[in-house]
Amino acid sequence: MSCPVEQITGYVDAALDDTARTEIEAHLAACESCRAQADAERALRRRLLGLLHPPLPTGIEERFRERLHRGTRVRLRRILVPLALAALLAFVWVRRQPQVVGWEMARDHRHCFGKRELPAKVWSEDAETVMRWFEDQGTRMPVVPEAAGGYAIVGARYCGFMDFSRAAHLYYRGEEKKAVSLFVLPRTLSERGPSLMVAGQHVVRISRVGDVTVGIVAEDKGDVDAFAHTFERSVASASSSP
Amino acid sequence: MRSLYGTALRMTGNAHDAEDLVQETLLRAYRGFARFAPGTNIRAWLHTILQRTRTDAFRQKQRTVRTTELIDDGPAVAVPPAAQEALASGGEDIERALGAVPEPFRTAVVLRDVEDFTYQEIAVMLEVPIGTVMSRIHRGRALLREKLGARP
């Protein structure tokens, strides 16, 4: 009969179920060579259990910490770089959307006219003076109407937009403290033709004049249309007579 | 960490590979710490990762070996003398004999008899059935006894 040698190993390690253990115990009682194997394995096991762990190489912990940080940095970069690119693309796309720009113009209009005193940097009822002021600041203005649709210019300044660009903001006053804003943005938007939108309590008209974008903000559509009508006529006549 | 390093050294047979293996194991453990079930044996968990890391590294090596058509010098190779010196402090010939036992029997014996894990734990680590664990330990011990007996 052949000896269950592997089972003897399992028996030494107390890894057998009850049935197998009983069988092996019976076999051991009768088999000299298997008893010797079990004893030898127990002795071997005692020696191996007594082995010490070898000393760690010096600097292994420092090297691990270094690697951990490097790994974290790389993984962080793997997440942050695409995220930043996506944000940049979204940003570039958003700043060309007339809806977004229109909303910002309306917000600036509300902000400036909502103050007790208009935060103008140049005060003048003369369009020439305002244009010259902007030119001094480095902004070439298209035609600046002195008055349009019953509104007259009172002053101007630069307003900062959320995308860190700035727009020329010209203030016009009408009867009963009614107000119109004319914005000149030194860039073009995704839409070419004029667009009209409502942003809160204001109406915004955005159109393109040459390579700049012009926005007109007023409280109602009638005012915007009247202002735009005069403004666009004066632009047309200015471009036809150089 | 000493237990991990000791096992890695006995498995790979050289300090450089052993450290690489431990570093990679700890890195994986660190990232996968959320998957560690509290209340279970953290030492067994770390050793499981060590074995998986070893398998992955070996597979990777096999791939490169196949493309370069080199002879596989994987874990079947015995522990070289330099690493045996590090292990066998005080002239312990049992370390030398253990180093001469080929894989996969050496790792099975190291996990059972040096690290004192149960068959169940070793089966999980090596991803083999318990019967295979038992047969590997049996064969490993037999080989080890042979090596010890053969030495003067």
A149, amino acid identity? G
**Average pLDDT value for chain A:** 85
- Tell me whether residues A9 and B134 touch, CB distance under 8 A: yes
B 48-67 residues with CB below 8 A of A? none
Instruction: Quote the minimal CA–CA distance from A15 to chain B in Å.
Output: 7
| Vertex A74: Cα angle to A70 and A76 (nearest 5) | 115
Interatomic CA distance for residues A46 and A153, integer angstroms: 100
- Tell me whether residues B2 and A68 touch, CB distance under 8 A: no
Give the mean model confidence (pLDDT) for residues B56-66: 69
CA dihedral B32→B56→A10→B141, nearest 10 degrees, is -130
Q: Please check the confidence at residue A111 and state whether its pLDDT lies above 70.
A: yes
Q: Which residues pair with A138 in a beta bridge?
A: none
Interatomic CA distance for residues B59 and B13, integer angstroms: 18
Between B77 and A190, residue with greater pLDDT: A190
Instruction: Quote the minimal CA–CA distance from B69 to chain A in Å.
Output: 32
B70-116 tens-digit pLDDT: 444 444 445 555 555 555 544 468 888 888 888 889 999 999 988 89
- Tell me whether residues A64 and B112 touch, CB distance under 8 A: no
Instruction: Quote the minimal CA–CA distance from B70 to chain A in Å.
Output: 31
- The tokens for B121 are 């734990």
B 69-128 residues with CB below 8 A of A? 86-87, 89, 92, 94-95, 98, 109, 112-114, 116, 118-119
Q: Please check the confidence at residue A80 and state whether its pLDDT lies above 60.
A: yes
Give the mean model confidence (pLDDT) for residues A1-9: 84
- Tell me whether residues B27 and A67 touch, CB distance under 8 A: yes
**What pLDDT is attached to residue B74?**
44
- Tell me whether residues A68 and B27 touch, CB distance under 8 A: yes
**What pLDDT is attached to residue A185?**
86
A119-172 tens-digit pLDDT: 888 888 888 888 888 888 888 777 788 888 888 999 999 988 877 778 889 999
**What pLDDT is attached to residue A217?**
92
Q: Please check the confidence at residue B3 and state whether its pLDDT lies above 80.
A: yes
**What pLDDT is attached to residue B65?**
55
With beta carbons less than 8 A apart as the criterion, state whether B103 and B75 touch: yes
Which helix (H) or strand (E) segment is B34 a member of? none
Q: What percent of chain B has pLDDT over 70?
A: 74
B11, amino acid identity? M
**What pLDDT is attached to residue A205?**
92
Interatomic CA distance for residues B124 and B145, integer angstroms: 26
Between A133 and A188, residue with greater pLDDT: A133
- Backbone phi and psi for residue A50, each to the nearest 5 degrees, phi listed first: -80, -5
